């Protein structure tokens, strides 16, 4: 039994369908290029980025996250009246902690849209080391 579809429509119909698909896909890619965002729809972070200044204490503190660990103590600048030190369970991308120094850092904080269940919804990235002062 022969396929009557091809007998009635033939190659022009098939080629026409391929052209429609190319126009749709190409149009989507063109739209992303015009908006200067080739990764539109694939980003994990929002435009909500802020830069804060924090101090990092010269010693680590025992804390419990998923399990027992050592956490940095941080406070936002200017510090609150009570000193304002808080346990920091996260990491600061680009920053390598060294014990014995009081650090003042400028950090970019970006909100993550869909973080893993056991992770923070904030991403921290080092912008600048403002001061690294040895503590005796």
Residues 6 or more apart from 70 whose CB is under 8 A from it? 60, 61, 62, 63
Q: How many domains does the chain have?
A: 2
Name the β-bridge partners of 44.
none
Q: Let me know if 105 is exposed, middle or buried by CB neighbors in 10 A (0-12, 13-18, 19+).
A: buried
* Residues 65, 110 within the same domain: yes
Same domain, 57 and 74: yes
Strands 45-56 and 92-93: unpaired
Predicted local confidence at residue 48, as pLDDT:
67
d(CA 20, CA 24): 6
Query: Which pTM value belongs to this model?
Result: 0.60
Q: 67 and 29: one domain?
A: no
**Other Cβ atoms within 10 Å of 92 Cβ, number:** 22
Does 70 lie in the same domain as 33? no
Which residues does 36 contact at the CB level (< 8 Å), separation at least 6?
none
Range of the domain at 74: 45-134
- Residues 49, 31, single domain; the answer is no
Please write the tens of the pLDDT for every residue from 32-90.
444 444 333 333 334 567 999 999 999 999 998 888 999 999 999 887 777 789 999 99
Q: What is the pLDDT of residues 14-43, one digit of tens each?
A: 455 544 443 334 444 444 444 444 333 333
CA 21 to chain centre: 33
């Amino acid at each position: 039994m022969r396929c009557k579809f091809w007998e009635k429509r033939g190659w022009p119909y098939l080629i026409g369908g391929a052209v429609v698909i190319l126009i749709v896909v190409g149009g989507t890619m063109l739209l992303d290029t015009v908006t200067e965002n080739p990764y539109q729809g694939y980003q994990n972070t929002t435009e909500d980025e802020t830069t804060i200044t924090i101090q990092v204490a010269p010693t680590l503190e025992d804390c419990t996250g998923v399990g027992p660990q050592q956490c940095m103590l941080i406070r936002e600048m200017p510090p609150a009246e009570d000193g304002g030190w808080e346990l920091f369970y996260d990491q600061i991308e680009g920053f390598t902690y060294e014990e014995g120094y009081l650090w003042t850092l400028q950090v970019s904080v970006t909100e993550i849209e869909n973080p893993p269940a056991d992770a923070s919804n904030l991403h921290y990235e080092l912008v600048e080391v403002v001061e690294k002062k040895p503590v005796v």
